[in-house]
């Protein structure tokens, strides 16, 4: 139970800062406001935000309940995660966050938020390549190498 509380705490801090606070500042700086009407872009945006949030939340729960760790790099899962959403793609939590940002960009019809989502993806990709994958390779060795051969980094597969 303590692991779950830690995982939720770290996830809320990350989500609160990267997916709520910073985008809100960006929206404020660029003077973006909700569209006066509720159209197709807003409906699709809400669906995409919801799907992204659900994916990210399922990853947090998978880390805590199956991996006995959290999404935070300083308190990672103790087990290699190859279950749940990790069966289909190696970085589903980041994909969920990017989907939520892209959904917000759609909802607000904001190129500034779309640019932020793009920057998030690029920075995340660099983090995965430079820190996360080498760390996982050192920690889990051949198990991680086999997982990498079977599951793609960004594009979900069966």
Q: Tell me: the pLDDT tens digits for 97-126?
A: 999 999 999 988 989 999 999 999 999 999
**What does the alpha-carbon distance between residue 23 and residue 27 come to, in Å, rounded to a whole number?**
6
Output the six-digit token pair for 130. Answer: 């430079």
**What does the alpha-carbon distance between residue 97 and residue 153 come to, in Å, rounded to a whole number?**
15
Q: Which is nearest to 132 in space by CA: 155, 151, 153?
A: 153
Alpha carbon distances (Å) from 55 to 39, 110, 156: 25, 23, 12
Contact 110, 29 (CB under 8 A): no
Give the pTM.
0.85
Split at pLDDT 50, 70, 90, the class of 20 is confident
Is residue 78 scored above 70 in pLDDT? yes
Is residue 15 scored above 80 in pLDDT? no
**What does the alpha-carbon distance between residue 86 and residue 46 come to, in Å, rounded to a whole number?**
24
Is residue 154 scored above 90 in pLDDT? yes
């Amino acid at each position: 139970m303590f692991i779950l509380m830690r995982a939720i705490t770290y996830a809320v801090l990350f989500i609160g800062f990267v997916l709520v606070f910073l985008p809100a500042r960006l929206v404020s700086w660029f003077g973006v406001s909700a569209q006066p009407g509720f159209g197709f872009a807003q409906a699709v945006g809400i669906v995409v935000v919801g799907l992204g949030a659900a994916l990210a939340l399922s990853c947090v729960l998978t880390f805590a309940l199956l991996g006995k760790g959290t999404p935070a790099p300083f308190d990672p899962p103790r087990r290699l995660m190859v279950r749940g959403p990790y069966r289909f793609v190696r970085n589903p939590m980041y994909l969920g966050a990017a989907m939520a940002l892209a959904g917000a960009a759609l909802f607000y019809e904001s190129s500034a938020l779309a640019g932020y989502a793009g920057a998030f993806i690029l920075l995340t990709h660099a983090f995965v390549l430079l820190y996360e994958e080498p760390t996982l390779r050192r920690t889990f060795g051949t198990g991680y190498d086999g997982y990498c051969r079977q599951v793609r980094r960004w594009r979900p597969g069966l």
